[in-house]
Amino acid sequence: MSAVVDVTSESHFNELTSSLPASTPITISFHTSWATPCKQMNAVFGYLASQYPSIAFLSVDAEAHPEISETFDISAVPYFVFIKGGKVVRELSGADPKELSTAIQELAGGATAANPALTSSTTSSSTQTKQQSSSSDSQSDEGDLNARLTKLVAAAPVMLFMKGTPAAPQCGFSRQLVGILRENQVRFGFFDILKDDTVRQGLKQFSDWPTFPQLYVNGELQGGLDIVKEVLADDPEFFKKIPSA
């Protein structure tokens, strides 16, 4: 395959993966239509598909096909799964074109792309970030984590950091907050903090909020379940005022 195949259903996904030769590496991109970081990564993913014809590139709308997302325990988008020999060999979360390119090159067995240079429009900001990081030996791990958290909290207009997933919350508070968002017909991104202890612990310091769930709107912390209830009690139209929510 040399182009991205959009998965239309779970049966379509199963048909695609079962029909490929066992030796064919597979890269799966999980995304949503409303998460801004996905737009850039979709373009990068499509470009890389044209450069690595030996790899199958599959695209899955994580929101439209939750049964596939849950199979791979997808907790945030954009998210990429790399399969080789019928086994998941790597997973990648976040919008870093350079890191995605490197991961796909490794999946291809170290082979370089037909055109190894990504377009400047898709990699300039990422490359600049990498250069700044490598040139500053004094940059701390804490600074790297804060940069990652800054991107995560702004990954969607409404972002929920919770225990578990919306389909299977792992605590009562997370379940209640998911229920509130759904009752108000809010489209939201989510991150399962049980899957990443670095994010779980780092976000407590980053937000100066010690408990979960935590709800962010346009990158700004709103609070936990009690605070959200209070906000809605004061302003029942609160969520309707959020662009693209």
Q: How many residues does the chain have?
A: 245
Taking Cα atoms as reference points, which of 59, 13, 64 lies closest to residue 34?
A: 64
Contact between 185 and 244 under an 8 Å Cβ cutoff? The reply is no
- What is the pLDDT at residue 214? 94
* CA angle in degrees (0–180, nearest 5) for 78-84-88: 50
Mean pLDDT within 26-47: 88
Whether the CA torsion 67, 73, 79, 84 is positive or negative: it is negative
Residue 213's pLDDT band, with cuts at 50, 70 and 90, is very high
**Contact in structure between 97 and 41 (CB atoms under 8 Å):** yes
Is residue 127 scored above 70 in pLDDT? Answer: no
β-strands 189-192, 214-217: how paired? Answer: unpaired
- Tens of pLDDT, residue by residue over 83-112, are 998 899 998 877 788 889 999 999 988 655
Helix (H, G, I), strand (E, B) or coil at 165: strand
> CATH 3.40.30.10 region(s) of the chain?
4-124, 140-241
Q: What is the pLDDT of residues 130-189, one digit of tens each?
A: 444 444 543 556 778 888 899 999 888 899 999 888 888 888 889 999 999 999 989 888
Q: Is the pLDDT of residue 116 over 70?
A: no
User: CB of 112 within 8 A of CB of 141?
Assistant: no
Q: What is the pLDDT of residues 39-71, one digit of tens each?
A: 888 999 999 999 999 999 999 998 888 889 888
pTM comes to 0.55
Q: Which CATH number is 4-124's, of 3.40.30.10, 3.40.50.10860, 3.40.50.300, 1.10.3720.10?
A: 3.40.30.10
Please state which CATH number belongs to domain 140-241: 3.40.30.10
Q: Please report, in angstroms and rounded to a whole number, the separation of the first and last CA atoms in the chain.
A: 36
